[in-house]
Amino acid sequence: MTVEFISVGTEILLGNIVNTNAAYLSERCAALGLSCYHQSVVGDNEERLMETVRLGLSRSDILILSGGLGPTKDDLTKEVTAKVFGRELYEDEHTKERIKEYFRRVRSGQVTPNNWKQAMVPEGAKVIDNHNGTAPGLIIEADGKTAILLPGPPNELMPMFERDIAPYLNQLEPEGIYSKMVKICGIGESKAETMIADLMDAQTNPTIAPYAKTGEVHLRVTAKAADEEKAKELLSPVVDELYQRFGDKIYTTEEDVTLEASIVELLDGQGMTVTTAESCTGGLLAGRIMNVPGASGVYREGYITYANDAKERLLGVKRETLMEHGAVSCQTACEMARGAAKAAGADAAVSVTGIAGPGGGTEEKPVGLVYVGCNVKGHVRVEEFHFTGNRDKNREYTVARALTLLREELLKNCKDLQNGDQP
Amino acid sequence: MTVEFISVGTEILLGNIVNTNAAYLSERCAALGLSCYHQSVVGDNEERLMETVRLGLSRSDILILSGGLGPTKDDLTKEVTAKVFGRELYEDEHTKERIKEYFRRVRSGQVTPNNWKQAMVPEGAKVIDNHNGTAPGLIIEADGKTAILLPGPPNELMPMFERDIAPYLNQLEPEGIYSKMVKICGIGESKAETMIADLMDAQTNPTIAPYAKTGEVHLRVTAKAADEEKAKELLSPVVDELYQRFGDKIYTTEEDVTLEASIVELLDGQGMTVTTAESCTGGLLAGRIMNVPGASGVYREGYITYANDAKERLLGVKRETLMEHGAVSCQTACEMARGAAKAAGADAAVSVTGIAGPGGGTEEKPVGLVYVGCNVKGHVRVEEFHFTGNRDKNREYTVARALTLLREELLKNCKDLQNGDQP
């Protein structure tokens, strides 16, 4: 079956917001085994919206429209789609109650009269409750075609899709689509693809689709099966095979676990704390770790030490080291990682020192040269990187590589412990 | 004139990448006075691409296609568009030389044979040099319709648009479009719009378009005029009027100056240094400041102090303060800002302490409660905020408000100095 997305909103046409909904829906529908050949954006204009809906229905089985379900007169998606399907609108009592309740709970106030417009739904449409806003989702079916209307705000659209739309799409075909996400760090995209080229060439069911993220590769393994049990039978051997090939580089097989969350879990499991000492990344590495709710259990303090003086005073980096080898050097990264752990009384420390650019590079130490140090219980490892992006990209990649290094060293520490070595 | 965007690439349809090019082109074309009613995404498929190009040309004056100009057989944008316009391809000597030179300079290697495909251009097309990659841009005109083909990577597309495409689009109409960006911090979008409602209602030429960013509002003032001089005459009084209304809240009228860059410039101008002490934002505030190339001149070190113990040891926050008022309190934010400046020997310090969520909230101190402290030469001001987003949003808004507070206090310090007060 084919799916097509229509994003409705003048604010997207004006470039006021980036269309992240389309990227999200694309990835999720691909994972559900639906083929998407077209996406479009159209403003809040009756005639153009109607044309676009008609064109979409003429060439795709399922149309997902997002946006334009708000309470104002500008919001036309529901009205126009109902017209195309030849349906009248009526006031849905259940939705009216839900909106009333929503206002009571969240806005602690009176419903504004134009919000009742959102309780109007097309005849025969399935009404999907919105747990994060007022506009309900709607599913309209006719003649083998389906239109799904979703609210535009991502924090309403995404939970609604996960909770109600994905299961609905999954039951449209006799065989459901089930997938497992295998997330890998520390291996580049092309190398990862080479390592599974034979699997990808031979694949029919399940299939493997690689997604490149900064410093990570995500492999989505997707199976068609009659039920979840059968899907598991198909997926498990492929996931096992991927573990055979990538081993420890796989940090999770859970959809919603990030690299930093997997690290916080590792630390937590070993009862360890971590600190950071950053130069060119200036707080971004700490910021990634602190993204994780509850990270405060394993991360208590960190240092941003751009100036040499700060590296000496806060981290105890030796002046001779800075004089002899420079601030951007393997030696300095090493002493930063040692000093940070000591200063914070932490079990582990990650240090970053480098030249993010655009200025500050020399022949000997060009822009993009970065050293990352990792200290786990006194064992320090330093890696040298040569990035080729702009300032932003270099810092982003540095953070990803620093997290990857920390994870590797924490895993080593785990194994040493299991082997009975002294930590 | 109307413009329409077609993004070509299966990776967008699969949700592998977010279509940031479309947002960029939308905003830039709106600023150039072009109306955009349609955007679409289509994969690397000859038939569907051809349909989409034909549809676009039937309803818009200018078509901007991005992506699908690569060297592989999958890349079809140029071939398909040339076919629609009935043009043959020929090998462009100039482009061939440029590609050779590019490989010599950047990749220090041999040109791979399939790269010569990128030197093939449609008859009669304008060829636009790509200074950041191999695929040239192309402009094809016929019968009052124009197709503009741009390479897909944003770091190639954006500089090419700024350098060659924007001026080309500007000369298509007898009157050019000129605009000025007025960036405001410390005022919400709806308040800002209310403050200029009369201007927006009365506007014809120039026009004012507001764009909401996290913690900021950007107003693009756009004029149609015969030349730059005349445009200036139209724009200046409007910009002056905006200064009358927003005063110091305007931090720049330059397109490419960020809030953090304006702050680094302020600090630099006053010969001052700044430091940061962060709890819930965990390095993100420092990261924003360090985004600015050359920030190392004004930012030398910073502290991430999540644990109470770290606040005491690194910043000298008193234990009694923490016991009596708690870590998330006005008093703690104040002592953090004082202690950080002292510890770093900096002239200014910004402190953040709050509850980002999802856990950690209480009846008395709910999730979203954040205190930001700002110390400029010993004068400390603390602000209390109540954010209502998720963890990410709360942290993002906190950073924006912290930067805004720092800027306000730095401006006050400027004025005090000008008024002859002792700093």
From chain A, the residues in CB contact with B294 under 8 A are 359
User: Which of B36, B291, B293 has the CB atom closest to A13's CB atom?
Assistant: B36
> How close, in Å, is residue B419 to chain A by CA atoms?
33
Contact check, Cβ <8 Å, A209/B14: yes
Interface list for B 286-315 with A (CB within 8 A): 286-287, 289-291, 293-296, 299-307, 309-310, 314
- pLDDT at A257 exceeding the cut of 70: yes
Which of A16, A21, A54, A299 is the best residue to mutate to test the B interface, defined by the most B CB atoms within 10 Å of its own CB?
Answer: A16
pLDDT band at B210 (very low <50, low <70, confident <90, very high): confident
For residues B111 and B103, the answer to whether their CB atoms sit within 8 Å is yes
Contact check, Cβ <8 Å, B295/A310: no
Contact check, Cβ <8 Å, A390/B303: no
- Tokens found for residue A58: 């003429």
- pLDDT at A76 exceeding the cut of 90: yes
> How close, in Å, is residue B212 to chain A by CA atoms?
8
- Four-residue CA torsion sign, B405, B408, B414, B416: negative
Helix axes A77-84, A46-59, angle to 10 degrees: 50
pLDDT of residue A392: 86
**A211 inside 8 A of chain B by CB:** yes
- How crowded is residue A383: how many other Cβ atoms within 10 Å of its Cβ? 16
User: Which of A294, A304, A359 has the CB atom closest to B293's CB atom?
Assistant: A359
- Tokens found for residue A311: 């590296």
Q: Is the pTM of this model over 0.90?
A: no
For residues A73 and A156, the answer to whether their CB atoms sit within 8 Å is no
Question: In a 3-state reduction of DSSP, which class is residue B344?
Answer: helix
For residues A127 and A136, the answer to whether their CB atoms sit within 8 Å is yes
- DSSP-derived secondary structure letter, A61: S
Contact check, Cβ <8 Å, A282/B286: yes
Q: Environment class of residue B48 by beta-carbon count within 10 Å: exposed (0-12), middle (13-18) or buried (19+)?
A: middle
> How close, in Å, is residue B421 to chain A by CA atoms?
31
Q: Which residue has the higher pLDDT, A116 or A86?
A: A86
- What domains can be seen in chain B, in order of their start residue? 2-170 (3.40.980.10), 176-252 (3.30.70.2860), 259-418 (3.90.950.20)
C-alpha torsion A20→A23→A29→A31, nearest 10: -120
From chain A, the residues in CB contact with B40 under 8 A are 38-41
| CA-wise closest residue to B134 among B67, B43, B88, B69 | B69
For residues B224 and B207, the answer to whether their CB atoms sit within 8 Å is no
d(CA A165, CA A64): 10
Alpha-helical runs (H) found in B90-202: 93-102, 154-160, 166-170, 189-195, 197-202
Contact check, Cβ <8 Å, A304/B303: yes
Q: List, for residues B361-409, the tens digit of each pLDDT value.
A: 999 999 999 999 999 999 999 999 998 878 888 999 999 999 999 999 9
d(CA B189, CA B216): 8
User: Which of A38, A280, A283 has the CB atom closest to B302's CB atom?
Assistant: A283
User: Which of A45, A48, A300 has the CB atom closest to B310's CB atom?
Assistant: A300
Q: Environment class of residue B39 by beta-carbon count within 10 Å: exposed (0-12), middle (13-18) or buried (19+)?
A: buried
pLDDT band at B239 (very low <50, low <70, confident <90, very high): very high
d(CA B373, CA B380): 7
- pLDDT at A364 exceeding the cut of 70: yes
Q: What angle do CA B10, B11, B17 make, to 5 degrees?
A: 150
pLDDT band at B423 (very low <50, low <70, confident <90, very high): very low
pLDDT band at B103 (very low <50, low <70, confident <90, very high): confident
> How close, in Å, is residue A91 to chain B by CA atoms?
31
Contact check, Cβ <8 Å, A302/B290: no
- pLDDT at B16 exceeding the cut of 80: no
pLDDT of residue B107: 56
- Whole-number CA gyration radius for chain B: 26
Which of B273, B304, B392 is the best residue to mutate to test the A interface, defined by the most A CB atoms within 10 Å of its own CB?
Answer: B304
- DSSP-derived secondary structure letter, B299: B
> How close, in Å, is residue A179 to chain B by CA atoms?
15
For residues A228 and A178, the answer to whether their CB atoms sit within 8 Å is yes
Query: What one-character-per-residue DSSP string does A272-306 give?
Result: --EEEEESTTTTHHHHHHHTSTTGGGTB-EEEEE-
From chain B, the residues in CB contact with A399 under 8 A are none
If you average pLDDT over residues A227-252, what whole number do you get? 95
pLDDT of residue A421: 59
User: Which chain A residue has its CA at the smallest distance from B3's CA?
Assistant: A13
d(CA A242, CA A219): 9
d(CA B238, CA B228): 16
d(CA A81, CA A101): 27
The number of angstroms, rounded, from the C-alpha of B104 to the middle of its chain's C-alpha atoms is 33
If you average pLDDT over residues B313-342, what whole number do you get? 97
For residues A138 and A89, the answer to whether their CB atoms sit within 8 Å is no
- pLDDT at B32 exceeding the cut of 90: no
From chain A, the residues in CB contact with B301 under 8 A are 303-307, 309-310, 314
Alpha-helical runs (H) found in B32-187: 46-59, 77-85, 93-102, 154-160, 166-170
| CA-wise closest residue to A290 among A307, A279, A275 | A275
pLDDT of residue A3: 96
- DSSP-derived secondary structure letter, B167: H
Q: Environment class of residue B233 by beta-carbon count within 10 Å: exposed (0-12), middle (13-18) or buried (19+)?
A: exposed
- Tokens found for residue A151: 């609210």
User: Which of A22, A24, A286 has the CB atom closest to B283's CB atom?
Assistant: A286
If you average pLDDT over residues B274-297, what whole number do you get? 95
**B213 inside 8 A of chain A by CB:** no
Q: How many CA atoms lie within 13 A of A369 on its CB side?
A: 15
Q: Which of A299-303, A368-372, B16-20, B109-113 has the lowest mean pLDDT?
A: B109-113
**A381 inside 8 A of chain B by CB:** no
- pLDDT at A226 exceeding the cut of 90: no
User: Which chain A residue has its CA at the smallest distance from B46's CA?
Assistant: A37
From chain B, the residues in CB contact with A282 under 8 A are 283, 286-287, 289-290, 295, 299, 302
If you average pLDDT over residues A23-46, what whole number do you get? 91
If you average pLDDT over residues A147-156, what whole number do you get? 94
Supply the ipTM of this predicted assembly. 0.78
Q: Which of A36-40, A89-93, A311-315, B131-135 has the lowest mean pLDDT?
A: B131-135
- DSSP-derived secondary structure letter, B116: G
Cβ contacts of B415 within 8 Å, gap of 6 or more: none
**B26 inside 8 A of chain A by CB:** yes
For residues A355 and A318, the answer to whether their CB atoms sit within 8 Å is no
Q: Which residue has the higher pLDDT, A129 or A109?
A: A129
- pLDDT at A111 exceeding the cut of 80: no
If you average pLDDT over residues A399-416, what whole number do you get? 94
Interface list for B 335-374 with A (CB within 8 A): 344, 357-359
Contact check, Cβ <8 Å, A310/B289: no
| CA-wise closest residue to A352 among A274, A275, A278, A276 | A278
Which of A41, A45, A48 is the best residue to mutate to test the B interface, defined by the most B CB atoms within 10 Å of its own CB?
Answer: A41
Q: Which of A222-231, A406-415, B43-52, B257-266 has the lowest mean pLDDT?
A: A222-231
- Whole-number CA gyration radius for chain A: 26
| Greatest CA separation for chain B | 81
Q: What is the mean pLDDT of chain B?
A: 92
pLDDT of residue A62: 97
Cβ contacts of A218 within 8 Å, gap of 6 or more: A181, A182, A183, A184, A210, A211
pLDDT of residue A174: 74
- Tokens found for residue A172: 């449209």
Kindly give the pairing relationship between strand A2-8 and strand B274-278.
Answer: unpaired
For residues B277 and B246, the answer to whether their CB atoms sit within 8 Å is no
User: Which of B14, B39, B52 has the CB atom closest to A30's CB atom?
Assistant: B14
Interface list for B 50-89 with A (CB within 8 A): 52, 55
From chain A, the residues in CB contact with B291 under 8 A are 391-392
For residues A276 and A351, the answer to whether their CB atoms sit within 8 Å is yes
pLDDT band at B422 (very low <50, low <70, confident <90, very high): low
**A43 inside 8 A of chain B by CB:** yes
User: Which chain B residue has its CA at the smallest distance from A44's CA?
Assistant: B37
